[in-house]
Amino acid sequence: MSIFVDERTKVVVQGLTGGQGRFHGLRNRDYGTQVVAGVTPGKGGTDVEGIPVYDTVAAAVEATGADASFVVVPPRFACDAILESAAAGIAFVVCITEGIPAQDEALTYNRLKQEHPGTRLLGPNCPGIISPGKTNIGITSGDIALPGGPVGIVSRSGTLTYQALHELSQQGVGQTTCVGIGGDPVPGTNFIDCLAAFEADPDTRAVMMIGEIGGSEEERAAAYIAEHLTKPVVAYVAGVTAPPGRKMGHAGAIISGSQGTAQAKMEALAAAGVTVAQNPTEAGEMMVEIVKGLG
């Protein structure tokens, strides 16, 4: 199985007629994803290589039965696009847009929780989600993913998401689902959401978790793992050598005082029974050994 999305998921691409939307939307379709529609206000009635374009998400949903959205629009339009999808009844929204102000992210997150509790947001500023061999929504290359499980991956870092997939695939270890949650301060989906879904998925037998400096999400995940997870977890936390007070890559990747350090996160995870790696390659090697032991 997979979590959140599968081969039955029908995707509408908001921004399909733009350069990035077209490129990634068509790549997703080429992978096998059911990309059933695009949305660009004012361009309804046109198409992009056979994918019909509508003026609104509501019109696209009515015509195609889409239940997921891929948001590829500039920062000033992204929050409205997310909320438009939710209002149209879309259950799963992937937003790869970066540069959205944290205040706008927080407002959007809270509006979703209060007004559209049936909609899950992945992102913003994330690589998306891939269930190898089934569906790919976002910017992750399908070439580095291997179907067949048994490992689920959840990562704050986009680049390390790709490395985790590649490291495991090179060793012949498949993945059930790989979720890039993004590194912004207010993610729509967090570690615990994904860990809970992997725990409930019978085909996911082990989990790889990739964190980074900043915030307390990894410590919260560690507490959740200690209480609720029965499956082995391998973790890597990026940013051991990051200087305090300097943002490293993501808007959320900043150490403030004694909070958010890689060392503190690694210690919390180790105390929860997680196998903690010192680098991404070691994380892959550790997971390969764990999978061998699963039989």
Question: How would you write the pLDDT of the chain (295 residues) with one tens digit per residue?
Answer: 799 999 999 999 999 999 999 999 999 999 999 999 999 999 999 999 999 999 999 999 999 999 999 999 999 999 999 999 999 999 999 999 999 999 999 999 999 999 999 999 999 999 999 999 999 999 999 999 999 989 999 999 989 999 999 999 999 999 999 999 998 989 999 999 999 999 999 999 999 999 998 888 999 999 999 999 999 999 999 876 455 555 445 544 444 445 568 889 999 999 999 999 999 999 999 999 999 999 7
Residue pair 6/134 in contact (Cβ under 8 Å)? The answer is yes
Q: Which long-range contacts link 157-163 to residues 24+ away (Cβ below 8 Å)?
A: 157/183, 157/210, 157/212, 157/238, 157/249, 157/250, 158/126, 158/127, 158/182, 158/183, 160/210, 160/212, 160/236, 160/238, 160/280, 161/127, 161/210, 162/127, 163/280, 163/284
Q: Give the pLDDT confidence score for residue 243 in this predicted structure.
A: 55
Q: State the pLDDT at residue 259.
A: 55
> For residue 142, what pLDDT is reported?
96
**Can you tell me which residue has the tokens 């999808």?**
85
Residue entry with tokens 């992750």: 140
Tokens of 182: 């993004």
Mapping DSSP to helix (H, G, I), strand (E, B) and coil, where does residue 153 land? strand
Judged on CB neighbours under 10 Å (0-12, 13-18, 19+), 20 is middle
Q: What is the pTM of this model?
A: 0.93
Identical fold for domains 10-122 and 141-294, yes or no, is yes
* Assigned CATH for 141-294: 3.40.50.261
pLDDT for 295 equals 74
Sketch the domain layout of the chain as residue ranges.
10-122, 141-294
Nearest-CA neighbor of 81 among 94, 67, 91, 64?
A: 94
Q: Give every CB contact of residue 213 below 8 A, 6+ residues apart in sequence.
A: 237, 238, 239, 242, 248, 253, 254, 255, 260, 261, 262, 265
**Fold of the 10-122 domain:** Rossmann fold (3.40.50)
Which residues carry out catalysis? 250
Q: Which residues contact 228 (CB under 8 A, 6 or more apart)?
A: 195, 196, 199
Strands 34-39 and 51-54, bridge-based pairing: parallel
**Nearest one of 152, 146, 122 to 134, comparing CA atoms:** 146
